[in-house]
A and B are shown apart, each in its own frame.
Chain A
Amino acid sequence: AQSVAQPEDQVNVAEGNPLTVKCTYSVSGNPYLFWYVQYPNRGLQFLLKYITGDNLVKGSYGFEAEFNKSQTSFHLKKPSALVSDSALYFCAVNDDYKLSFGAGTTVTVRA
């Protein structure tokens, strides 16, 4: 089965600093990887996905992710974090039309 792991429960950064949220994957075949964000009492918002092609994927709200096949990683990044980026972030892998999610990483950006 396909799976992803998010090794950090929490990430704390200061506003204006770079933000990185880590994700590693374990798949057989080609990985189809996604990042979603969830704000309190809301559903999941799609940020970006990797299907094939360029290892650097650009997404919504200034986020990007780097696919690294040798390290089986798909880390989410933002060059300059905002307080409004504080939320719960999920990495996911498409496993036969269903998404398997990581446990989530809570990001707190302090002013």
Chain B
Amino acid sequence: KAGVTQTPRYLIKTRGQQVTLSCSPISGHRSVSWYQQTPGQGLQFLFEYFSETQRNKGNFPGRFSGRQFSNSRSEMNVSTLELGDSALYLCASSLRTPATDTQYFGPGTRLTVL
């Protein structure tokens, strides 16, 4: 079974621009979660989508948004980029049922904001 895939793997943007990242979950997984990883803040939860609905949201500003499509693929968007948005963005997929189901992570998208 193919794992979680994320595109692109690397991105360089400038302040004020916006960016869209994509995540394709493991086949059959309907839950997709997004995390931000930075050296200073570590791994932080952004949001989770299940059945095309946002189910959970972390403590991030409204510039961070996402969506999920009917095939469970998900995108996250960051508008008006700031230098502090430079990070590794990871997505993870799971069955979500049971609640203890394992989240499997993709390789991440490395975003650099200049």
Q: Which residues of A contact B (CB under 8 A)?
A: 32, 34, 36, 41-46, 49, 51, 90, 92, 94, 96-104
Point out the residues of chain A lying under 8 angstroms from B4, CB to CB.
Answer: 43
Which B residues touch A96, using CB under 8 A?
Answer: 56, 99
Chain B interface size range: 20 to 34
Count of A-B contacts judged by CB separation below 8 Å: 56
26 contacts between A and B (CB under 8 A): A32-B99, A32-B100, A34-B102, A42-B108, A43-B4, A43-B6, A43-B90, A43-B108, A44-B90, A44-B92, A44-B105, A45-B105, A46-B102, A46-B104, A49-B100, A97-B31, A97-B33, A97-B96, A98-B33, A98-B45, A98-B58, A99-B43, A99-B45, A99-B103, A100-B45, A101-B43
- CB-CB < 8 A to B33: which residues of A? 97-99
The 8 A CB mask of B74-114 against A (1 = contact, 0 = none) is: 00000000000000001010001001101111111010000
Q: Is B15 an interface residue (CB 8 A)?
A: no
Contact B42 A94 (CB under 8 A): no
Task: Looking at the assembled complex, report how far the CB atom of A65 sits from the nearest CB atom of chain B, in whole angstroms.
Answer: 14
**8 other A-B residue contacts (CB within 8 Å) besides A42-B107, A98-B33:** A32-B99, A41-B110, A44-B90, A46-B105, A51-B100, A97-B33, A99-B43, A102-B42
